[in-house]
């Protein structure tokens, strides 16, 4: 193998753009907002990521995918750090990421609607736009969906069930 | 459970500063928290594929997953505190029932859906208020784990509180079942905030939150939810304890038999 050019932080960020979320493959891990830092010291590369949800099984796969992507460029001195604080929030998801999500059929998070820190029993649910027919006439089926980060909704107009990427902040 | 990640060392500044004896006490306490989340997560995972309806099956599997995520962060920290080379897997898979430190509540069987909801409500009510206090804890790693888990615990408490209300103020049968579950399980709730000798020492050292404020928050929330559910708050209940000191009900042994089967049968097995 040809010896790789010495890594630069900008180049590492470019490579990370190519690593995608294994559950939602249209999103890069940068779109998702989980890469918190990249540090290059000589040949040593440290990438710090933060979990979306503590039990998210995708995190190990993502760490392995980052490692494989950088190894493919010939970078071998790698550390992938897991950082819990500050805790991930959907505010960190990029605008491009939100558009890709909706085009993929998943309603993107609506900022400022996290019921996260208040106990709002039987409270009014967020109006979420159907990613398929764009109707705002939808209802929550379950706060817990196919993965930890999503809730299950159904459209009252086109009747399609769909995933909503929960606002988490 | 081993992954491809390490914890950022920046979240671990205090580790070197603890005196060996304090570090050992903190290890025991973090282990207690990890055991608690693991055992309840395992219990909830037993529902997977058996839930009363699909959405609630998914809800319980999701809550189980959140708890297992928290469990891993806690065991990883416990392993570092102990500093004897044991890993998160060793702590989960190679300790016997008497070494487990979870309170009795979380090892109680799933029973029917009302039993599971009441057990979950009692735990979530504690977990939520405990994590809120832990956010400003002196130990920064525990505070970071709490910051992550509190967002999830809030969803859990909302879920179990709403189900208490639906069942209590529901049909004659749902009401009768939830009343029976409360009569059976309430006596395990006191242990959650009854400090053991270890917890008293850590509280005195300012390393873990005092339970008085947590207890007040729990009582207020329970009162509000049970009132809305048209259920009575049990009074003068004799509280059962012992789990946090390693004295368990018979149920824990069965859980560990299943949970640890692979590592016990094929020691050191990896995949």
Considering only CB atoms, A54 lies closest to which of B6, B73, B221, namely B73
B77 touches chain A (CB under 8 A): no
CA distance B75 to chain A (A): 13
Residue B203 tokens, joined: 């509280």
Domain A9-82: homologous superfamily in CATH: Fe-S cluster assembly (FSCA) (3.30.300.130)
Chain A residue with CA closest to B67: the answer is A55
**Residue A71, pLDDT score:** 96
- Written as tens digits, the pLDDT of chain B (271 aa) is 445 566 554 455 566 689 999 999 999 999 999 999 999 999 999 999 999 999 999 999 999 999 999 999 999 999 999 999 999 999 999 999 999 999 999 999 999 999 999 999 999 999 999 999 999 988 999 999 999 999 899 999 999 999 999 999 999 999 999 999 999 999 999 999 999 999 999 999 999 999 999 999 999 999 999 999 999 999 999 999 999 999 999 999 999 999 999 999 999 888 7
Rounded to 10 degrees, what is the CA torsion of B11, B17, B21, B26? -20
Q: Which three-class secondary structure string do you get for A13-78?
A: HHHHCCCECCCCCCCEHHHHCCEEEEEEECCEEEEEECCCCCCCCHHHHHHHHHHHHHHHCCCCCE
Edge-to-edge strands, sheet with A138-142: A106-107, A161-165, A150-155, A138-142
Which 39-58 residues of chain B touch chain A by CB within 8 A? 55-56, 58
CB contact under 8 A, B154 and A116: yes
- Do strands A150-155 and A161-165 pair parallel, antiparallel, or not at all (unpaired)? antiparallel
B165 touches chain A (CB under 8 A): yes
B152 touches chain A (CB under 8 A): yes
Q: Is the pLDDT assigned to residue A54 strictly greater than 50? A: yes
Residue ranges per domain, chain A? Answer: 9-82, 92-165
Residue B190 tokens, joined: 């006191």
**For residues B123 and B238, what is the distance between their CA atoms, to the nearest angstrom?**
18
Considering only CB atoms, B5 lies closest to which of A82, A121, A152, namely A82
Considering only CB atoms, A53 lies closest to which of B3, B58, B69, namely B69
Considering only CB atoms, A55 lies closest to which of B66, B128, B143, namely B66
Contact A130, A157 (CB under 8 A): yes
pLDDT band at residue A1 under the 50/70/90 scheme: low
Secondary structure letter of residue B235 according to DSSP = -
CB contact under 8 A, B154 and A117: yes
Q: What is the pLDDT of residues A107-139, one digit of tens each?
A: 999 877 665 556 778 877 778 999 999 999 999
Burial B196-206 (b: 16+ CB within 10 A, else e): bebbebbeeee
Chain B residue with CA closest to A116: the answer is B151
CB contact under 8 A, A145 and B155: no
Rounded to 10 degrees, what is the CA torsion of B210, B107, A60, B145? 0
CB contact under 8 A, A82 and B8: yes
B12 touches chain A (CB under 8 A): no
| Helix B54-82 × helix B140-168 angle, to 10° | 160
Considering only CB atoms, B144 lies closest to which of A84, A122, A152, namely A84
**Residue B4, pLDDT score:** 59
**Residue A127, pLDDT score:** 83
Chain B residue with CA closest to A150: the answer is B62
Q: What is the pLDDT of residues A18-32, one digit of tens each?
A: 999 998 999 999 999
pLDDT band at residue A57 under the 50/70/90 scheme: confident
Q: Report the SS3 class of residue A138.
A: strand
Contact B170, A73 (CB under 8 A): no
Residues in chain A: 169
**For residues B219 and B189, what is the distance between their CA atoms, to the nearest angstrom?**
11
**For residues B188 and B105, what is the distance between their CA atoms, to the nearest angstrom?**
5
**Residue B164, pLDDT score:** 98
Chain A interface residues facing chain B, Cβ-Cβ under 8 Å? Answer: 48-49, 51, 53-57, 59-60, 63-64, 67, 79-87, 115-122, 141-146, 148, 152, 168
Percent of chain A topping pLDDT 90: 66
pTM, two decimals, is 0.92
**Residue A130, pLDDT score:** 96
Interface test with B, best of A19, A38, A53, A118 (most B CBs within 10 A): A53
Residues of chain B contacting residue A54, judged by C-beta atoms under 8 Å apart? 66, 69-70, 72-73, 148-149, 152
Interface test with B, best of A37, A49, A51, A121 (most B CBs within 10 A): A121
Angle at A40 (CA atoms; ends A36, A46), nearest 5 degrees: 50
């Amino acid at each position: 193998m040809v010896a790789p050019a010495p890594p630069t932080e900008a180049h590492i960020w470019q490579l990370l753009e190519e690593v995608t979320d294994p559950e939602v493959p249209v999103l890069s891990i940068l779109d998702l907002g989980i890469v918190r830092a990249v540090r290059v010291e000589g040949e040593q590369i440290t990438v710090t990521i933060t979990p979306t949800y503590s039990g998210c099984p995708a995190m190990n796969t993502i760490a392995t995918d980052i490692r494989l992507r950088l190894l493919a460029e010939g970078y071998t001195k790698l550390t992938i750090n897991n950082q819990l604080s500050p805790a991930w929030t959907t505010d960190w998801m990029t605008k491009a990421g939100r558009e890709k999500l909706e085009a993929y059929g998943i309603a993107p998070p609506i900022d400022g609607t996290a019921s996260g820190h208040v106990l709002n029993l039987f409270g009014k649910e967020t109006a979420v736009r159907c990613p398929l027919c764009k109707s705002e006439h939808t209802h929550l089926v379950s706060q817990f969906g196919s993965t930890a980060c999503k809730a299950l909704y159904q459209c009252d107009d086109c009747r399609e069930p769909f995933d909503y990427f929960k606002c988490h902040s | 459970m081993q992954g491809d990640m390490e914890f950022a060392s920046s979240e671990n500044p205090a580790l070197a500063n603890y005196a060996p004896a304090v570090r050992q006490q903190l290890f025991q306490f973090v282990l207690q928290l990890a055991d608690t989340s693991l055992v309840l997560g395992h219990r909830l995972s037993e529902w997977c594929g058996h839930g009363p309806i699909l959405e609630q099956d998914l809800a319980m599997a999701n809550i189980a997953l959140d708890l297992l995520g928290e469990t891993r962060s806690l065991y990883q920290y416990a392993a570092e505190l102990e500093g004897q080379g044991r890993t998160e897997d060793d702590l989960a898979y190679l300790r016997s029932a008497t070494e487990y430190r979870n309170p009795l509540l979380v090892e109680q069987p799933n029973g029917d859906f009302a039993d599971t909801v009441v057990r979950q409500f009692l735990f979530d009510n504690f977990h939520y208020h405990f994590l809120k206090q832990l956010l400003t804890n002196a130990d920064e790693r525990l505070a970071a784990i709490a910051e992550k888990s509190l967002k999830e615990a809030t969803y859990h408490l909302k879920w179990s509180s709403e189900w208490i209300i639906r069942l209590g103020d529901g049909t004659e049968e749902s009401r009768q079942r939830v009343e029976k579950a409360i009569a059976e399980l309430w006596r395990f709730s006191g242990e959650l905030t009854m400090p053991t000798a270890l917890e008293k020492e850590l509280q005195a050292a300012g390393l873990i939150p005092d339970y008085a404020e947590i207890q007040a928050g729990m009582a207020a929330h329970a009162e509000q939810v049970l009132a809305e559910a048209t259920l009575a708050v049990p009074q003068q209940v004799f509280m059962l304890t012992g789990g946090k000191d390693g004295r368990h009900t018979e149920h824990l042994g069965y859980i560990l038999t299943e949970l640890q089967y692979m590592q016990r049968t094929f020691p050191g097995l990896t995949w």
